[in-house]
């Protein structure tokens, strides 16, 4: 599910940047910036790299479903925090700022995603909404040291309400002691 | 069938129950209701075909009857259920004879008129009654259609359902006879409207050269470039494209259309065309066609 959501949004963002800049090569890659040894992935150069920053459970949505489906576990709703980082080597700093601007422009023009407007999105995803996630100036250092690189121009977004619902019925009815 | 549930008491109650010298109390619940009627509604627009967003409202007489007969009405998903209490005295001869139930079917979906294959106007009332063509169906044809529409003074669209039950004292007034009657099942099925997709493209600036653009259908590999210019009601000039295929409206579509550009310098231009939403329905009288519109800005 998560891989499908990230790939679908990445596909639409790639389309947007390629059309805006008249590019023929891909402009977006879904990858981590560095491997466990700290080596920079060469594939990320001159592109927007999307990677997962964090994942959290949406607890408010959980309460609403509790009684509506007896016999079933409530669905798990999660929010994804995705980072969109523009890595342009050789001090091509302005270009990276331009790409980050295009990411912001894309999500400003489209802040919801559904199967009707996102071709790769799984049919089990009803609707996703996106909002910009602010990272405080004091947290940036910690964040990028955890990522394993120096800071590069980037923006993070929160992808809201990815629902995992297997529709499995579990046994939670009272025991029947007698049938007449 | 009578089912008895046993429930263990909480520890506090155990303490108070010294006289009985028992470690727990026992509560017996008897639930003895029988389903007598089931009304289901389907709509081809929805992926699961279940038409959920509606209400079944008994008219005054039926409401009084439901109370007098101690019936229970419940809704689950697209189905309304009616239960009778087997412990009430409904088997008495007093309750014998046919009973007519009349309901108003209220459509709560604000887009019901857009998505349904019915005349495109308000002030409509559908008369739904059991059909002889198929057991349980509340309309003569496969779907509810315009032949069932009757004049309706109020604004909006409603359905009127009239069902007669208990003609042979199956449920009430059967006295001492063995009552093994199956409950009654009725359903109504709505078809979705047939439309054509119309995409309207406009530029963010003044540039309006649409010569090199074409539509690519990924499923069929077809290419279309028959755009035509038209002016919208707000005065905006757009380049429109109508997908030739007639489409039944649905919650989701399998079409994968892209706007592409034949350009020596910009061969990569490709924009996925999202599916039009049911709220963007327009009827053109001259062409007698329903268009589902989508407006797409090209930077």
Q: Which two tokens stand for residue B259?
A: 């706007």
Q: Among all chains, which residue has been given the structure tokens 């969109």?
A: A84
pLDDT > 70 in chain B, percent: 87
Q: Is B256 on the interface with A (CB under 8 A)?
A: yes
Q: What are the residue boundaries of the structural domains of chain A, listed by start?
A: 2-164
Q: A17 falls in which pLDDT band (50, 70, 90)?
A: very high
What is the per-residue pLDDT for B14?
38
Q: A7 at the B interface (CB within 8 A)?
A: no
Q: Is the distance from CB of A9 to CB of A159 less than 8 angstroms?
A: yes
Q: What angle do CA B233, B227, B120 make, to 5 degrees?
A: 50
What is the average pLDDT score of chain B?
85
Q: For residue B63, what are the contacts with CB-CB under 8 A and spacing of at least 6?
A: none
Phi, psi of B154 (to 5 degrees): -75, 165
Query: What are the domain boundaries of chain B?
Result: 34-190, 194-298
Q: Do B299 and A177 touch (CB under 8 A)?
A: no
Strand partners, B116: B192
The 8-class DSSP code of residue B13 comes to H
Instruction: Tell me the two tokens of residue B185.
Output: 């099942």
- Chain B residues whose beta carbon lies within 8 Å of the beta carbon of residue A117: 272, 274-275
Contacts of A94 (CB under 8 A, 6+ apart): none
| pLDDT of res. B176 | 66
| Token couple for B224 | 């279309």
Q: In what order do the strands lie in the sheet with B54-58?
A: B54-58, B99-107, B157-165, B124-128, B149-151
DSSP string, B230-266: EE-TTS-EEEEEE-SS-EE--SS----EEEEE--SS-
CA–CA separation, B66 and B73 (whole Å): 8
Nearest-angstrom CA–CA distance, A7 and A51: 11
Q: In this predicted model, which residue has the larger pLDDT, B195 or B14?
A: B195
In A75-149, the DSSP E strands lie at: 76-87, 112-113, 128-133
Q: How far apart are CA A49 and CA A84, in angstroms?
A: 6
pTM strictly above 0.90: no
Q: Are A123 and B252 in contact (CB under 8 A)?
A: yes
Judge whether residue A86 has pLDDT over 90.
yes
Pairing of strands B257-261, B213-217: antiparallel
pLDDT digits (tens, 9 = 90+) for B159-218: 999 999 988 888 888 776 666 678 999 999 999 999 999 999 998 776 667 888 899 999
pLDDT band at A107 (very low <50, low <70, confident <90, very high): very high
Other C-beta atoms within 10 Å of A51: how many? Answer: 17
**DSSP of A14-27:** HHHHHHHHT-SS--
CATH architecture, range A2-164? 2-Layer Sandwich (3.30)
Residue of A nearest to B275 (CA): A116
Q: Write down the H helix ranges in B8-151.
A: 11-16, 60-68, 112-115
What's the confidence (pLDDT) of residue A68?
55
Closest CB from B5, B274, B277 relative to A174? B5
Q: Give the CATH fold of the B194-298 domain.
A: Immunoglobulin-like (2.60.40)
Tokens of A77: 């709703």
Q: Between A and B, how many residue pairs show a Cβ–Cβ distance under 8 A?
A: 54
Q: Could you give the ipTM of this predicted complex? A: 0.78
Count other C-beta atoms under 10 Å from residue A106's C-beta. 21
Query: Which of B187, B178, B185, B195 is closest to B246 using CA atoms?
Result: B195
Locate B83 and state its tokens. Answer: 């239960």
Q: What is the pLDDT of residue B23?
A: 63
Average pLDDT over residues A34-44: 85
pLDDT of A63 reads 67
**C-alpha span between B32 and B47 (Å, rounded):** 36
Both tokens of residue B232?
A: 């919208």
Q: Calculate mean pLDDT across residues A91-106.
A: 94
Q: What share of chain B is helix, strand, coil (3-state, %, to 5)?
A: 10, 40, 50
Nearest CA in chain B to A16: B271
Among B2, B7, B252, beta carbon nearest to A180: B2
Three-state secondary-structure class, residue A109: helix
Secondary element (H or E) of residue A11: helix A2-21
Tokens (6 digits) for A12: 């639409």
d(CA B135, CA B184): 10
- pLDDT, tens digit, 9 for 90 and up, residues B221-250: 999 989 999 998 888 889 999 999 999 999
Count of Cβ atoms closer than 10 Å to residue B136 Cβ: 14
Cβ-defined contact of B3 to A123 (cutoff 8 Å): no
- Which residues does chain A have within 8 Å of residue B270's beta carbon, measured at their own beta carbons? 15, 18-19
The lowest-confidence range among A98-107, B88-97, B195-204 is: B88-97
From the list B3, B6, B274, the residue facing A117 with the nearest CB is B274
User: ∠ at Cα B5 (A179, B7), nearest 5°?
Assistant: 150
Q: Strand, coil or helix: what is A128?
A: strand
Q: Give the bridge partners for B42, in sequence order.
A: B50, B189
Q: Over 70: is that where the pLDDT of A106 sits? A: yes
């Amino acid at each position: 599910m998560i891989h499908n959501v990230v790939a679908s949004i990445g596909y639409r963002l790639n389309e947007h940047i390629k059309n805006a800049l008249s590019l023929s090569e891909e402009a977006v890659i879904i990858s981590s910036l560095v491997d466990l040894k700290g080596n920079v992935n060469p594939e990320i150069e001159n592109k927007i790299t999307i990677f997962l920053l964090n994942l959290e459970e949406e607890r408010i949505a959980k309460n609403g479903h509790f009684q509506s489906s007896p016999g079933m576990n409530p669905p798990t709703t999660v929010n994804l925090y995705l980072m969109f980082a523009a890595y342009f080597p050789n001090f091509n700093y302005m270009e990276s700022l331009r790409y980050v601007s295009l990411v912001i422009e894309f999500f400003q023009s489209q802040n919801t995603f559904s199967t009707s407007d996102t071709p790769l999105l799984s049919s089990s995803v009803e609707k996703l909404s996106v909002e910009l996630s602010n990272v405080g100036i004091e947290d940036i250092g910690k964040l990028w040291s955890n990522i394993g690189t120096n800071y590069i121009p980037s923006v993070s977004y929160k992808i809201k309400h990815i629902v995992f619902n297997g529709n499995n019925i579990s046994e939670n009815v009272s025991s029947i002691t007698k049938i007449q | 069938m009578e089912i008895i549930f046993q429930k263990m008491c909480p520890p506090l109650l155990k303490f108070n129950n010294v006289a009985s010298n028992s470690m727990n109390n026992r509560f017996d619940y008897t639930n003895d209701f029988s389903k007598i009627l089931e009304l289901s509604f389907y709509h081809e627009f929805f992926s699961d075909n279940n038409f959920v967003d509606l209400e079944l409202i008994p008219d005054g007489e039926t409401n009084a009857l439901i109370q007098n007969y101690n019936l229970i009405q419940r809704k689950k998903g697209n189905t309304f259920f009616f239960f009778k209490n087997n412990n009430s005295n409904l088997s008495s001869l007093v309750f014998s004879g046919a009973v007519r139930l009349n309901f108003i079917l209220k459509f709560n979906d604000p887009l019901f008129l857009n998505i349904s294959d019915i005349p495109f106007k308000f002030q409509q009332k559908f008369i739904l009654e059991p059909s002889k063509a198929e057991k349980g169906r509340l309309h003569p044809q496969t779907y509810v259609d315009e032949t069932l529409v009757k004049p309706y003074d109020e604004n909006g669209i409603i359905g009127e359902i009239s069902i007669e039950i208990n003609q042979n004292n199956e449920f009430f007034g059967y006295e001492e006879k063995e009552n093994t009657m199956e409950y009654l099942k009725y359903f109504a099925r709505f078809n979705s409207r047939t439309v054509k997709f119309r995409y309207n493209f406009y530029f963010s600036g003044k540039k309006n050269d649409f010569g090199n653009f074409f539509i690519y259908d990924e499923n069929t590999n077809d290419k279309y470039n028959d755009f035509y210019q038209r002016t919208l009601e707000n005065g905006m000039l757009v380049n429109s494209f109508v997908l030739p295929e007639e489409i039944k409206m649905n919650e989701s579509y399998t079409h994968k259309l892209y706007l592409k550009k034949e350009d020596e310098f910009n061969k990569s231009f490709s924009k996925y065309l999202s599916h039009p939403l049911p709220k963007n329905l327009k009827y053109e009288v001259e062409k007698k066609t329903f268009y589902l519109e989508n407006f797409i800005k090209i930077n």
